[in-house]
Structure 1
Amino acid sequence: MRESLLNGAASRSSNGLVGPSEVSRAVRRSAGVRGDKDLLSLERTARAEFLGAGPVLQPLLDDPQVSDVVVNGDGSVWVDRGSGLRAVPGRLRAVRELATRLAAASGQRLDDAAPVAEGRLPDGTRLHALLPPLCAEGAVLSLRTMRTRAFGLDELRASGMLDDRSAQVLERLVQVRANVLVSGATGTGKTTLVASALSLVPPGERIICIEEAAELAPDHPHVLHLQVRRPNVQGAGEITLPDLVRTAMRMRPDRLVLGECRGAEVREVLGALNTGHDGGWATVHANAARDVPARLVALGALAGMSPATVAVQARSAVHAVVHLVRREGRRRLTEVAVLRAEGAEGFRAALALRCDRRGELAEAEAWPELARTLDDAGR
């Protein structure tokens, strides 16, 4: 049945690729189907098999509570519904075949010659796949779902990510067009927070988001998404994040946003934020706000920047660092810092707000500097 459906769908496609309409027509013309209920069930299964992540994984990805689905080399499946990874009963078979098909669906190659694939599935799900021997246990999959809408600040308060004070600070940072770095580990909600903040941008402003794969989905009428393009099989055609940053600066942006700063593009980002492009946001991986300077210096080294150059550029470009953590399944904004000079050529992150023993944001040493930024109506 599976082969007949696939062959029928492909034969009816004008370009030889299987799409949603081809799958639907093939299912409805297949022999042995009786009744609307059976027809709909078969169509859902076929769509998951040919266009999605398969009949086991696709229902998990469709669950609005699920943020991540991972498959290990032994076929075990784990999901994250906001409280950490939890095992799903049963085992998934033919993981390598599934990984290869998903990579192809995202426009990537996955085989012994190219055992690592990163891409975006047609529904927006982010894919990372790895084949042995790079992973000793077998083929592994990591899938992250895409948010279809931004959460409002009230929703982030209700979830516990923000308290009243942090919500007010974020809203004011947007209003005064401050340049903000959002730091945190993987899965702490950096993208979620940035999308919510960008939803507060006045509708007349043009936002250009630069990402490896489009994840930011702010509730705003004028947002453009620029995505990197990986090289083809011949190694040609690559468009990198630094390329996109330079392109975006020529597109009349009101606000430049970098989904994740994790390489040489830090040079272009700091440069752009120092040339009149205020109100920009970016995310960076760091364990704490105080670790952000070291992280920026390390990224700057990839771009050939000296630590002194990174320090000068960062202190001038970044008005606030917002740090997120994830503890016991809860995401929370715990620190807000400003960048200060340290020594002749260095810099550090000084805390302006930090969580006290009650879990509420309280003023710290650098609060006067942050307060001046928040009060700067002329920015």
Structure 2
Amino acid sequence: MRDRLAASGDDADAPAVARAVREVGAVLGHDELRAVVRAVRAEVLGAGPLQALLESPGVTDVLVEGGRVWVDRGAGLQRVDLDLGGPARVRALAVRLAAAGGQRLDDAAPVVDARLPDGTRLHAVLPPVAEPGTLLSLRVHRPQGFSLEDLVRRGSVAPVLEPVLRGLVARRANLLVSGATGTGKTTLLAALLSLVPADERIVCIEEAAELRPDHPHVVRLVARRPNVEGAGEIDLASLVRHALRMRPDRVVLGECRGADVREVLSALNTGHDGGCATLHANAATDVPARLEALGALAGMTPRAVAAQAASALDAVVHLRRTRGLRHVAEIGAVSGGSDGLVVERVLACGPDGELEVGAAWPEVARRWGLDPVVA
């Protein structure tokens, strides 16, 4: 079927696949034809036998270890009994997916990180670098976003924290959303950006276009990887500099990964209030150490990072994943002193909604212009 579609020059859409099936002389009923069309499109355009898992509601990750398949539906990894057809087929699938993402995957380049046309994030490793066989990690991209009200209803944001988050956005606080991988940082950031007034312009800089805030004026800048000759790269740091020339009301960096942290801190120190970024960290109080490590990649000393971050950032919103629930666990206040950069936890909330109020919260709330009384 792949050869026939390639020879015809048709796109592998449903009508073209159906025509190709009829041309081979197969006699199928309506339901059987529809199933064959889905299978062929998954094999030609999608993730083959994994496509049904990627399209399954609730699935966030699909992992392949040689011939074994695992999925994450929000409650941890679960083994799936799925036949992928042997090591050669798994390797061929990985190579085809990498090509669909515009990347090369072979013995000379056995590791790849790519974005598929439907937004799915792909990471693949070939043997012998991957000892158990070809490794595939697929992070599902859900195009629909969530409002802050949706996150409250789902339990991701405790009701007592909702007015605090709304107040921070309304008062143009510079926010850093932190957490481990898969805790919902991008989802929360998109929900917060949806609260920005409609007459403001948001410029989002990302490695891959994931942020989808419900806002009428969002400009997206996406980094570009170098081609196989090593040319053509446009990194996040350069995009942050370009964003400042685009008359932004709010500058947003999808994720601080390296030297781009210097550009973001500089931007937030030049009058661009209301900016946001995400950062991988274990806890809100660990953010200073992470910023220092990233600043070192940009040639910044710990003292320079502390001075820039203390002036640029107002609050850290930290997320955790507890018993499968992604939730806002901490809100910290950023300050600088003789000991360098400090993030003090002022509000903490467990997965069941129990609230812990830090001793410094009343003073911090007044500094942020918020009501210091929380229920």
TM-score by length of 1: 0.92
Q: Deviations over 1:316-375 (max 9, x none)?
A: 11110011111111112111111122326x111111112379742332133134313431
- Residue 6 of structure 1: CA displacement? 1.2
**1:163 equivalenced with 2:163 (yes/no):** no
**1:349 equivalenced with 2:343 (yes/no):** yes
Q: Deviations over 1:118-155 (max 9, x none)?
A: 11111111111111222211110000111212212222
C-alpha separation in 2, matches of 1:186 and 1:169: 24
Counterpart position of 2:20:
26
Decide whether the 8 Å contact of 1:178 with 1:280 is kept in 2.
Answer: yes
**1:9 equivalenced with 2:5 (yes/no):** yes
Counterpart position of 1:368:
362
- What secondary structure is seen at the aligned counterpart in 2 of 1:195? helix
Decide whether the 8 Å contact of 1:334 with 1:361 is kept in 2.
Answer: no
- Residue 20 of structure 1: CA displacement? 6.7
**Aligned-partner residue type, residue 77 of structure 1:** V
Q: Which of 62, 80, 84 is the aligned partner of 1:69?
A: 62
Q: Which of 242, 247, 272 is the aligned partner of 1:247?
A: 242
Q: Share of identical aligned residues, percent? A: 59
Q: Deviations over 1:146-195 (max 9, x none)?
A: 12122122221222211112111111111111110011111111111111
Decide whether the 8 Å contact of 1:177 with 1:279 is kept in 2.
Answer: yes
C-alpha separation in 2, matches of 1:279 and 1:25: 54
C-alpha separation in 2, matches of 1:90 and 1:147: 23
Counterpart position of 1:304:
299
User: In structure 2, do the counterparts of structure 1 residues 269 and 33 end up closer, same or farther at CA, with 3 Å as the change threshold?
Assistant: farther
C-alpha separation in 2, matches of 1:63 and 1:258: 30
- What secondary structure is seen at the aligned counterpart in 2 of 1:103? helix
C-alpha separation in 2, matches of 1:131 and 1:125: 19
**1:36 equivalenced with 2:30 (yes/no):** yes
Q: Deviations over 1:248-300 (max 9, x none)?
A: 11122111111111111000111111112111111101111000000000000
- What secondary structure is seen at the aligned counterpart in 2 of 1:134? coil
Q: Which of 187, 208, 211 is the aligned partner of 1:216?
A: 211
Q: Deviations over 1:223-262 (max 9, x none)?
A: 2222111111111111111111112111221111111111
C-alpha separation in 1, matches of 2:367 and 2:115: 38
Counterpart position of 2:73:
81
C-alpha separation in 2, matches of 1:183 and 1:325: 9
- Residue 313 of structure 1: CA displacement? 0.7
Question: Please, which moves more after superposition, 155-164 or 111-120?
Answer: 155-164
**Number of residue pairs aligned between Structure 1 and Structure 2:** 368
1:69-148 equivalent positions in 2, closer than 5 A: 69-73=62-66, 75-93=67-85, 94-148=89-143
User: In structure 2, do the counterparts of structure 1 residues 203 and 139 end up closer, same or farther at CA, with 3 Å as the change threshold?
Assistant: same
Counterpart position of 2:258:
263
C-alpha separation in 1, matches of 2:352 and 2:70: 33
User: In structure 2, do the counterparts of structure 1 residues 176 and 132 end up closer, same or farther at CA, with 3 Å as the change threshold?
Assistant: same
User: In structure 2, do the counterparts of structure 1 residues 313 and 332 end up closer, same or farther at CA, with 3 Å as the change threshold?
Assistant: same
- Residue 38 of structure 1: CA displacement? 2.3
- What secondary structure is seen at the aligned counterpart in 1 of 2:237? helix
**Aligned-partner residue type, residue 251 of structure 1:** M
C-alpha separation in 1, matches of 2:350 and 2:7: 64
- What secondary structure is seen at the aligned counterpart in 1 of 2:69? strand
Decide whether the 8 Å contact of 1:320 with 1:370 is kept in 2.
Answer: no
Decide whether the 8 Å contact of 1:151 with 1:196 is kept in 2.
Answer: yes
Q: Deviations over 1:81-127 (max 9, x none)?
A: 11111111134232111100000000000001111111111111111
C-alpha separation in 1, matches of 2:188 and 2:28: 48
- What secondary structure is seen at the aligned counterpart in 2 of 1:242? helix
User: In structure 2, do the counterparts of structure 1 residues 272 and 334 end up closer, same or farther at CA, with 3 Å as the change threshold?
Assistant: same
Decide whether the 8 Å contact of 2:320 with 2:326 is kept in 1.
Answer: yes
Q: Deviations over 1:18-57 (max 9, x none)?
A: 6677545534544314333222211111111111111x21
Q: Which of 281, 301, 304 is the aligned partner of 1:286?
A: 281
C-alpha separation in 1, matches of 2:261 and 2:14: 40
**1:46 equivalenced with 2:40 (yes/no):** yes
Structure 1 runs, 4 residues or longer, greater than 6 Å off: none
Structure 2's unaligned 5+ residue stretches are: none
Decide whether the 8 Å contact of 2:110 with 2:127 is kept in 1.
Answer: yes
Structure 1's unaligned 5+ residue stretches are: none
Question: Please, which moves more after superposition, 115-124 or 202-211?
Answer: 202-211
TM-score by length of 2: 0.93
User: In structure 2, do the counterparts of structure 1 residues 27 and 212 end up closer, same or farther at CA, with 3 Å as the change threshold?
Assistant: farther
Decide whether the 8 Å contact of 2:158 with 2:353 is kept in 1.
Answer: no
User: In structure 2, do the counterparts of structure 1 residues 80 and 356 end up closer, same or farther at CA, with 3 Å as the change threshold?
Assistant: closer
Decide whether the 8 Å contact of 2:18 with 2:33 is kept in 1.
Answer: no
Decide whether the 8 Å contact of 2:198 with 2:215 is kept in 1.
Answer: yes
- Residue 12 of structure 1: CA displacement? 2.9
Decide whether the 8 Å contact of 2:194 with 2:214 is kept in 1.
Answer: yes
- What secondary structure is seen at the aligned counterpart in 2 of 1:324? strand
C-alpha separation in 1, matches of 2:4 and 2:64: 30
C-alpha separation in 2, matches of 1:215 and 1:114: 26
